[in-house]
């Protein structure tokens, strides 16, 4: 299991400002090794309870809340990452565990028993929680990401665009999913993650663009139709 504890802020910015910011960040920060010229693709399957408790906890702004997802970076991948993010005051705690493809495909079907094959206590915790609270697959979200990192304070800045989703199919390894846009294509999501404090030269770059804080997550954007969330 991997674990990180950090502050996270999310903002909505327009595509023009995002493109300019990418260039400025690339001049002073290290690009993620997976960036390439167009960034890299992330696809996540989110789980929730029958009454969508995690969704409502986010919308209601509860200080203590969680999110469980299964993430992959390619339909051809032989693994996926099971992740649990927990909001604890101003910090986000993220724990993750690498699952082989067969186990991940079982989770996509709502079968969590393969987690019992892993010796990691985090797998056992996830199994117990997802089984006892009847978690079920709820939505798949896909987007393109450009990421930049600075070693100081473990700073990571990401820009996510072309955000699409589906609530009708959960196979994250599928070559074809019925995906539809869930955010204005002329906007991006800017995520700022760091430990301690944000370095001034990076903060100044971020302050150069208009960036209203985003009140909902990509998961909430994906569920807005079926759960009546206004765009």
User: Are 35 and 23 in contact, with CB atoms under 8 Å apart?
Assistant: no
- Residue 32 carries which DSSP code? P
CA distances (Å), origin 191, targets 131, 145, 149, 188: 31, 10, 12, 10
**40-48 and 30-31 as β-strands: parallel, antiparallel, unpaired?**
unpaired
Which domains does the chain carry? 2-227 (3.20.100.30)
CA dist 127 and 114 (Å) reads: 9
Per-residue pLDDT tens, the chain, 231 aa: give them: 999 999 999 999 999 999 999 999 999 999 988 887 778 999 999 999 999 999 999 999 888 899 999 999 999 999 999 999 999 888 999 999 999 999 999 999 999 999 999 999 999 999 999 999 999 999 999 999 999 999 888 999 999 999 999 999 999 999 999 999 999 999 999 999 999 889 999 999 999 999 999 888 999 999 987 786 654
Task: Output the pTM of the full model.
Answer: 0.94
CA distances (Å), origin 151, targets 106, 123, 157, 199: 37, 29, 12, 11
Q: Is the dihedral of CA 59, 61, 64, 68 positive or negative?
A: positive
């Amino acid at each position: 299991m991997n674990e990180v504890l950090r502050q996270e802020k999310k903002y909505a910015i327009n595509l023009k400002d995002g493109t300019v910011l990418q260039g400025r960040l690339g001049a002073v920060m290290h690009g993620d090794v997976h960036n390439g010229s167009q960034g890299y693709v992330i696809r996540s399957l989110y789980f929730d309870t029958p009454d969508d408790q995690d969704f409502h906890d986010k919308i209601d702004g509860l200080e203590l809340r969680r999110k469980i997802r299964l993430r992959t970076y390619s339909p051809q991948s032989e693994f996926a990452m099971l992740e649990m993010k927990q909001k604890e005051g101003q910090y986000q705690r993220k724990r993750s565990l690498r699952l082989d493809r067969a186990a991940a495909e079982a989770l996509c079907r709502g079968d969590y028993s393969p987690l019992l094959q892993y010796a990691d206590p985090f797998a056992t915790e996830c199994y117990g929680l997802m089984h006892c609270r009847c978690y079920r697959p709820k939505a798949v979200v896909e987007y393109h990401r450009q990421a930049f990192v600075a070693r100081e304070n473990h700073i990571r800045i990401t820009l996510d665009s072309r955000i699409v989703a589906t609530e009708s199919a959960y196979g994250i390894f599928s070559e074809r999913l019925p995906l539809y846009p869930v955010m204005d294509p002329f906007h991006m999501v800017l995520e700022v993650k760091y430990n301690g404090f944000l370095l001034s030269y990076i903060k100044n770059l971020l302050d150069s663009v208009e960036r209203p804080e985003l009140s909902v997550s990509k998961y909430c954007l994906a569920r807005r139709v079926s759960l009546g969330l206004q765009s």
